[in-house]
Amino acid sequence: MSEPPTTFDAEESTWGALHVYVPGEDRLERVRQAVERCYATVGLKRIPWSDPTQAISELLPAFTQLEMNPSRELGPDEVFVLPEAQEPWVGVLSRAHEWSSPGGNPLGKELSRDFDVFSIVCANKKYAEYTLYKGGELTHLSFLGPQCPAVEAGVDVKGFDPNYFEDKDPMIPVPDLVKWAMAPCRFVTLAGPDMRGHRDAFDARTLNDYTPEQFLIFR
């Protein structure tokens, strides 16, 4: 994976989104403090946004459940800490992607020492890698898109065609590229406008209760 851009408006953009499960009060402040601590502990490289307003307009059409207020919710440097419409989740949108192949989002992993975390890493505006972290450990990893690090590393991902996106809109996830085999947990992913009856997806059901079609539609 090439070195990520230093500004958002670079031709190539890579970013990470974390969905942090935070029951109780003061969710945003607790996550902000945890993010600051993680940066100090893990030594993450700070990559500033060149234009936060542009970042929001470019990156967040799929994040319809995030209630955006960037003037109030900006975190340290490149990190947005945002309320999600479905409590008790908090969104963390970050330029920090010092992640290794596969499943190595250090911010997500470190945050999971305090909270349960669902992580999405996107390369070149193509959804690439989905991970679940609990207790500082990676508990599940799946892939979508030709930019995912496992494919670049030569890992055989069942059902994945690395050439699938050549003549297609790279922002449209394709459910049949990923075969989910997840152990029960309380995480499900983004409830985008095409989720139809599943906009209440953040709940206590297990991932095994959802089909790939229900789980992977983001727009």
Q: How far apart are CA 95 and CA 129, in angstroms?
A: 15
Amino acid 90: pLDDT:
77
Q: How far apart are CA 63 and CA 181, in angstroms?
A: 24
Sign of the dihedral through C-alpha 168, 171, 176, 179:
positive
Q: What is the mean pLDDT of residues 130-154?
A: 57
Q: How far apart are CA 58 and CA 13, in angstroms?
A: 10
Q: How far apart are CA 101 and CA 138, in angstroms?
A: 13
Q: What is the mean pLDDT of residues 197-211?
A: 33
Q: What is the mean pLDDT of residues 68-86?
A: 53
CA angle 3, 93, 64 (to 5 degrees): 130
Residue 111 pLDDT greater than 80, yes or no: yes
Residue 114 burial by CB count (10 A; 0-12/13-18/19+): exposed, middle or buried?
A: middle
Residue matched to tokens 């727009």: 219
23 or 217, which is more confident: 23
Residue 170 pLDDT greater than 50, yes or no: no
Q: How far apart are CA 107 and CA 46, in angstroms?
A: 12
Residue 46 pLDDT greater than 50, yes or no: yes
Give the least confident one: 112-116, 152-156, 180-184.
180-184
Most confident of 31-35, 126-130, 169-173: 31-35
Amino acid 61: pLDDT:
46
Give which of 116, 123, 108, 120 is closest to 42, Cα–Cα.
108
Amino acid 73: pLDDT:
44
Q: What is the mean pLDDT of residues 179-194?
A: 29
pLDDT level of residue 115 (50, 70, 90 thresholds)? confident
Give the least confident one: 13-27, 49-63, 152-166, 204-218.
204-218
Q: How far apart are CA 128 and CA 145, in angstroms?
A: 5
Amino acid 142: pLDDT:
55
Q: Over the stretch 12-43, which tens digit does the pLDDT of each residue have?
A: 345 566 778 788 888 888 988 888 888 777 76
Amino acid 52: pLDDT:
56
Q: How far apart are CA 187 and CA 201, in angstroms?
A: 9
